[in-house]
């Protein structure tokens, strides 16, 4: 009996039994690692779903570029681009800005005969900028009869003090500067006061100034009246209070200089190269979608469709509808239902690669010769731009769009996998604790058996077995 127990203990130790010194921990680790295999399988599936999610998000980003481009093309006014052409000699006289959604093409004869000006005055001269002008009021009158006054008190009754008093006052409509006239005389320091607004409606009148106890009398030495800008438009005079004003609806001019007896032509016309660049941007955005779809559907023997969107119905749908729009005939006349065109007639065509190409020269030629029909092809109600807009809007619907639904389905599956992993991890944690208790109990039992064996051997006078002997 004792010999048998001794032999079992010896065999257990030699065989790497989990007893003795906490060796059971390695066995628990191996068991738990083996039972984690289902978790690893779930995580592998989750990795594939994450890859698909990234692809869906990339696809959404490419589809979203279409509405961004369409904003510049969604109606006739946005589709159209205008430019203002001036002869070289007129470019120094004025700048032209256009509101393309309001302005209309046309040719106009202009002549800038006078710039708008602000009223200004220059005072008499003083020997120093700190010369005293006395205490009192600086007063002026506006065309509407309103009188403005600025008080100059003791301690600030100098040229500098008057300038500071004028410029620090609020809502008075004038501003002041102190200048050195550079004439080389004994009294070079003067004050210049000008109105803040140009035009005759903002002219100023200076009555006598009321300054007492000054070293010199303050008065206006010279002044320039406010004046309106005058532009001859097709031979007729037009006046403006300011140099920057709206000459025509959607056409603003900013006058820089006047030149009498110089008449020139302002030509407002369609900016065809700029319109072509917007169509090119639309083609590029469409190609972004088509290229993505082609890449996902490109399969070979090494393709892993569980990691791609190959064969996805959403991709197939948007690709097929974009193709259909390119070849579809759209009505381009309000009065003739048989007047049809395709965008392929204007230079948007498919290549053998499955992507679009834009023949810009063809587009320019078409729009130069038949602007209204080309514009109607793209911007007419229910035509090319509307069709793409409706397609992308439906695809990107937050609740029901195919792409949104696809993304939500993947996210739901990933969450379900995360929940499964969390549940299995908790189960494994409990399993690990149970195994540790079982092996710990086994180790204690084996240790007790070893102690009993040693006691019996000593009691019976038998030597303890030598491990390995």
Range of 73-87, 138-152, 210-224 with top mean pLDDT: 73-87
Which residue bears the tokens 């984690």?
36
Same domain, 287 and 391: yes
Same domain, 64 and 87: no
Q: How far is CA 219 from CA 159, 193, 209, 438, in A?
A: 12, 12, 7, 112
Range of 209-213, 242-246, 294-298 with top mean pLDDT: 242-246
Q: Where are the beta strands (DSSP E) in 234-360?
A: 236-240, 244-248, 251-255, 264-270, 330-331, 340-341, 348-350, 356-358
According to the model, what pLDDT value does residue 1 have?
38
* pLDDT, averaged across the chain: 86
Domain-embedded: residue 360: yes
pTM value?
0.69
Q: What is the mean pLDDT of residues 390-407?
A: 83
Same domain, 250 and 104: yes
Same domain, 102 and 215: no
Measured distance between the N- and C-terminal CA atoms of the chain, rounded to whole angstroms:
19
Is the pLDDT at 469 greater than 50? The verdict is no
According to DSSP, residue 360 is labeled H
Q: Which residue has the higher pLDDT, 236 or 398?
A: 236
Same domain, 59 and 166: no
Domain-embedded: residue 102: yes
Enter the tokens of residue 285.
């955005």
Domain-embedded: residue 465: no
pLDDT digits (tens, 9 = 90+) for 41-76: 999 889 888 888 888 888 888 999 999 999 889 888
Same domain, 262 and 277: no
Is the pLDDT at 12 greater than 50? The verdict is no
Q: Confidence class of residue 23 from pLDDT cuts 50, 70 and 90?
A: low
Q: How far is CA 204 from CA 32, 116, 229, 464, in A?
A: 96, 15, 17, 126
Same domain, 333 and 424: no
Same domain, 191 and 326: no
Cα gap 289→58, rounded to integer Å: 10
Is the pLDDT at 309 greater than 60? The verdict is yes
According to the model, what pLDDT value does residue 237 have?
96
How many separate domains does the chain show? 4
Parent domain of 89: 82-115+229-270
Same domain, 124 and 108: no
Cα gap 101→104, rounded to integer Å: 9
Domain-embedded: residue 466: no
Domain boundary residue, one of 270, 285, 302:
270
Residues of the chain with pLDDT > 90, as a percent, come to 47
Cα gap 39→428, rounded to integer Å: 10
Q: Which residue has the higher pLDDT, 403 or 120?
A: 120
Domain boundary residue, one of 371, 396, 421:
396
Q: What is the mean pLDDT of residues 424-436?
A: 87
Domain boundary residue, one of 237, 270, 303:
270
Is the pLDDT at 175 greater than 90? The verdict is yes
According to the model, what pLDDT value does residue 462 have?
57
Q: Which residue has the higher pLDDT, 21 or 154?
A: 154
Domain-embedded: residue 401: no
Q: What is the mean pLDDT of residues 307-315?
A: 75
Phi and psi torsions of 304, nearest 5° = -110, 95
Is the pLDDT at 7 greater than 50? The verdict is no
Domain-embedded: residue 70: yes
Same domain, 219 and 243: no
Same domain, 297 and 437: no
Is the pLDDT at 306 greater than 80? The verdict is no
Is the pLDDT at 20 greater than 70? The verdict is no
Is the pLDDT at 144 greater than 50? The verdict is yes
Domain-embedded: residue 467: no
According to the model, what pLDDT value does residue 341 have?
94
According to the model, what pLDDT value does residue 164 have?
93
Q: What is the mean pLDDT of residues 314-334?
A: 90
According to the model, what pLDDT value does residue 17 have?
47
Q: Confidence class of residue 14 from pLDDT cuts 50, 70 and 90?
A: very low
Q: What is the mean pLDDT of residues 416-421?
A: 92
Q: Where are the beta strands (DSSP E) in 283-402?
A: 330-331, 340-341, 348-350, 356-358
Enter the tokens of residue 393.
């809007």
Is the pLDDT at 452 greater than 60? The verdict is yes
Which residue bears the tokens 């001859």?
232
Q: Confidence class of residue 215 from pLDDT cuts 50, 70 and 90?
A: low
Is the pLDDT at 126 greater than 60? The verdict is yes
pLDDT digits (tens, 9 = 90+) for 347-384: 999 999 989 999 999 999 999 999 999 999 999 999 99
Q: Going by C-beta distance under 8 Å and a sequence separation of 6 or more, which residues neighbour residue 87? A: 264, 265
Cα gap 264→286, rounded to integer Å: 44
Same domain, 168 and 93: no
Domain-embedded: residue 468: no
Q: Confidence class of residue 304 from pLDDT cuts 50, 70 and 90?
A: low
């Amino acid at each position: 009996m004792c010999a048998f127990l001794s032999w079992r203990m010896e065999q257990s130790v030699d065989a790497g039994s989990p007893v003795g010194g906490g060796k059971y921990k390695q066995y628990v680790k191996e068991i738990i690692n083996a039972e984690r295999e289902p978790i690893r399988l779930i995580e592998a599936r989750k990795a594939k779903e994450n890859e698909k999610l990234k692809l869906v998000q990339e696809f959404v980003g490419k589809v979203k570029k279409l509405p961004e481009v369409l904003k510049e093309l969604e109606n006739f006014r946005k589709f159209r681009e205008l430019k203002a052409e001036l002869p070289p000699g007129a470019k120094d006289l004025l700048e032209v800005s256009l509101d393309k959604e309001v302005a209309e093409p046309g040719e106009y004869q202009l002549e800038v005969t006078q710039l708008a000006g602000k009223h200004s005055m220059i005072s008499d001269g003083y020997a120093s900028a700190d010369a005293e002008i006395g205490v009192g009021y600086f007063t002026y009158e506006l065309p509407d009869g309103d009188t403005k006054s600025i008080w100059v008190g003791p301690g600030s009754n100098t040229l500098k003090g008057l300038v500071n008093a004028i410029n620090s006052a609020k809502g008075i409509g004038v501003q002041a500067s102190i200048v050195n006239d550079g004439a080389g005389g004994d009294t070079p320091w003067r004050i210049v006061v000008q109105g803040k607004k140009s035009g005759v409606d903002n002219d100023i009148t200076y009555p006598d100034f009321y300054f007492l106890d000054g070293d010199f009398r303050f008065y206006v030495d010279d002044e320039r009246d406010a004046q309106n800008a005058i532009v001859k438009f097709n031979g007729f005079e037009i006046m403006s209070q300011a140099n920057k004003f709206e000459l025509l609806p959607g056409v603003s001019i900013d006058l820089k200089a006047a030149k009498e007896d110089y008449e020139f032509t302002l030509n407002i016309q369609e900016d065809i190269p700029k319109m072509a660049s917007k169509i090119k941007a639309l083609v590029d955005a469409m190609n972004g979608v088509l290229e993505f779809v082609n890449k996902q559907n490109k399969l070979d023997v090494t393709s892993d469709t569980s990691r791609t969107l190959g064969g996805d119905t959403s991709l197939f749908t948007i690709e097929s509808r974009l193709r259909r729009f390119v070849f579809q005939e759209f009505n381009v006349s309000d009065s003739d239902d048989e007047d049809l065109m395709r965008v392929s007639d204007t230079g948007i065509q498919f290549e053998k690669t499955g992507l679009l190409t834009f023949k810009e020269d063809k587009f320019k030629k078409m729009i130069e010769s038949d602007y209204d029909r080309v514009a109607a092809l793209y911007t007419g109600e229910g035509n090319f731009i509307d069709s793409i807009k409706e397609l992308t809007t439906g695809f990107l619907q937050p609740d029901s769009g195919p792409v949104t639904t696809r993304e939500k389905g993947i996210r739901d599956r990933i969450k379900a996998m995360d929940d499964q992993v969390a549940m299995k991890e908790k189960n494994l944690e409990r399993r690990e604790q149970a195994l540790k208790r079982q092996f710990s109990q086994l180790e204690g039992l084996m240790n007790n058996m070893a102690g009993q064996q040693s006691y019996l051997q000593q009691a019976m006078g038998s030597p303890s077995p030598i491990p390995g002997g």
